Amino acid sequence: MAGARRLGGLVDGLWGALLPVQCAGCLAWDEVLCPSCRSLAAAPALPTAVDGARGPIPGVVLGDYSGPLRRIVLTAKHAARTDVSDFLDEAGAALGTSLREVVAPVGSPPGRVGGVTGRVCAAGEAVTVWVVPAPSSWRRRLRGRSVALPLARGVARGLASAAPGVRACVVDVLALRVGAGSQSGKAGAARVVGRMGSMRPRAEVPAGVLVVAVDDVVTTGATIREMERVLGRLDGVAALCRPGLIS
């Protein structure tokens, strides 16, 4: 066993010498994520809203889709040698903590969550929140490059710890239909058309359960609206970033 570990360390060192790692955010050498870029995961979340079928859906994002945050997202999706899952988990927890303002407004006692949509439970009752990641293609899942799922796990943990009386759980309940293509590289109108009718549910949302959608990037909102259509409703949105926050 010790010999195998030494051999593994030797191989990793040789591989690193031939192809040295760069920070996923700022491209500094010899670090998967430098301290400065890693600290982005704990940045104060920014409020946002996505236009839904029943009106604006409130949500939170960490920042603009630019600079280090954009490069981290692209690395998470496409860089096979670089694992930023810890960053996604930490960022998700920060987003989940901020979602308390959406799902359980400050000052509401336990059991009074759901005020955003008008659904209120009796005092002392726990409220269940489904944290639903945007579905990934089977190719991305096969390569282990899903971004929304590890992000959703952090969101559920952060929300549950920040909002007393809330039981948050990740429910990977959506799947892409056969033939649904990637949104990468598409312009606004093409993104909207590309997501229409692209998802199917694996189960129905039970009555009384709040639903939070999680995605890596919110651009036109087409993915979120398709999630809303399939699930029947959304009570909140959490995403790493959104373009246009920096003017």
List pLDDT tens digits, range 89-125.
Answer: 999 999 999 998 777 653 344 433 343 333 334 445 6
Reading the block at residue 5, the tokens are: 């570990």
Q: Express each pLDDT in 64-84 by its tens digit.
A: 999 999 999 999 988 877 889
Percent of the chain at pLDDT above 70? 73
- What pLDDT does 108 receive? 47
- What pLDDT does 127 receive? 86
Q: Is the pLDDT of residue 244 over 80?
A: yes
Higher pLDDT, 88 or 4: 88
Q: How are beta strands 236-242 and 210-217 bridged, if at all? A: parallel
- What pLDDT does 29 receive? 87
C-alpha to C-alpha distance for 179 and 195, rounded to whole angstroms: 11
Higher pLDDT, 92 or 245: 92
Reading the block at residue 10, the tokens are: 């030797």
Residue 15: band (very low, low, confident or very high) from pLDDT cuts 50, 70, 90:
very low
Residue 34: band (very low, low, confident or very high) from pLDDT cuts 50, 70, 90:
very high
Instruction: Please give the sequence-ordered ranges of beta strands (E in DSSP) within the chain, or none if there are none.
Output: 46-52, 55-64, 127-133, 166-170, 174-176, 199-201, 210-217, 236-242
The gap from C-alpha 125 to its chain's centroid, in whole angstroms, comes to 27
- What pLDDT does 105 receive? 53
Q: Is the pLDDT of residue 186 over 50?
A: no
- What pLDDT does 177 receive? 84
C-alpha to C-alpha distance for 106 and 84, rounded to whole angstroms: 32
- What are the φ/ψ torsions at residue 54 (nearest 5 degrees)? -110, 15
Residue 21: band (very low, low, confident or very high) from pLDDT cuts 50, 70, 90:
confident
Residue 179: band (very low, low, confident or very high) from pLDDT cuts 50, 70, 90:
low
pTM over 0.85: no
Q: Is 198 exposed, middle or buried (0-12, 13-18, 19+ CB in 10 A)?
A: buried
Q: Is the pLDDT of residue 214 over 60?
A: yes
| Mean pLDDT calculated for residue range 169-191 | 69
- What pLDDT does 68 receive? 96
Beta-carbon contacts of residue 48 (< 8 Å; ≥ 6 apart): 58, 59, 60, 61, 218, 237, 239, 242
- What pLDDT does 116 receive? 37
3-state secondary structure string across 94-159: HHHHHCHHHHCCCCCCCCCCCCCCCCCCCCCCCEEEEEEECCCCHHHHHHCCCCHHHHHHHHHHHH
- What pLDDT does 172 receive? 95
The listed range with the strongest mean pLDDT (115-124, 134-143, 205-214) is 205-214
Q: Is the pLDDT of residue 218 over 90?
A: yes
Higher pLDDT, 112 or 200: 200
